């Protein structure tokens, strides 16, 4: 798919509901309301991917002392392997401020780990008890140097 067909739209109060729907539909984690309030305050940055007028994915990140932290990235099942995730992560890599980017992914989420490896994220450490309420609570921390 031509990445240029994918529009990337910043999340505001007007399209926050669409972000919430993408997150609950694509990710197993449930975020508290403070996560969404932080987007309106500007401490979390969020974008939607829109294809032919339909929201198909999202990315959320936050600048932290240790680097740019990719918090959420999800694409609807029916729209995967068509470059939507690529458009979202490239936006994150382009816009994030730090020299290092990092994320946590469930160690059994092989598809996502392969996706991040395709963008030169490397495994830094294995973190037990990272997730609450999931069958597998172990996360892999992946990092990428951005220059
Ligand atoms: C991870 C995710 C965001 C990828 O989105 P996507 O739109 O399918 O990704 P792209 O089409 O841009 O894929 C880019 C490249 O990543 C790799 N990749 C993506 N999905 C893959 C898979 N299932 N298996 C192997 N490699 C994969 C491939 O190299 C792919 O390039 P190719 O299609 O030319 O081979 C999507 O699978 C998803 O939403 N998963 C569920 C939510 C999730 O786990 N998010 C991460 C939580 S930390």
**What are the domain boundaries of the chain?**
3-145
- The per-residue pLDDT for range 32-41, each reduced to its tens digit, is 999 999 999 9
- Testing ligand 1's pocket by substitution, the residue of 51, 69, 78, 80 carrying the most ligand atoms inside 8 A of its CB is 80
Ligand 1-lining residues (CB < 6 angstroms): 26-27, 73-75, 80-86, 103, 105, 109, 111-112, 114-115, 118
**pLDDT over threshold 80, residue 3:** no
Q: What are phi and psi of 42, to 5 degrees?
A: 95, 0
- Within 13 Å, how many C-alpha atoms sit on residue 103's CB side? 25
Give me the pLDDT at residue 1, please: 58
- Note the pTM of the prediction, 2 decimals: 0.96
Check residue 135 and report its DSSP letter.
S
Residue range 3-145 forms a domain whose CATH class is alpha beta
Mean pLDDT in residue range 41-46 = 97
**pLDDT over threshold 90, residue 15:** yes
- Distance of alpha carbon 146 from alpha carbon 44, whole angstroms: 19
Mean pLDDT in residue range 125-129 = 96
- Testing ligand 1's pocket by substitution, the residue of 5, 51, 115 carrying the most ligand atoms inside 8 A of its CB is 115
């Amino acid at each position: 798919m031509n990445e240029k067909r994918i529009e990337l739209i910043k999340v505001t109060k007007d399209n926050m509901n669409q972000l919430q729907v993408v997150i609950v539909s694509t990710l197993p984690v449930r975020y508290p309301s403070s996560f969404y309030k932080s987007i309106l305050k500007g401490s979390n940055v969020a974008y939607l991917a829109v294809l032919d007028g339909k929201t198909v994915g999202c990315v959320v990140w936050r600048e932290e002392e240790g680097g740019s932290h990719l918090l959420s990235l999800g694409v609807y099942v029916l729209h995967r392997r068509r470059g939507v995730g690529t458009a979202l992560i490239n936006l994150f890599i382009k816009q994030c401020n730090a020299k290092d980017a990092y994320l946590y992914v469930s160690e059994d989420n092989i598809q996502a780990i392969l996706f991040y490896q395709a963008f030169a994220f490397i495994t830094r450490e294995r973190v037990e008890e990272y997730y609450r309420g999931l069958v597998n609570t172990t996360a892999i921390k992946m990092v990428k140097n951005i220059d």
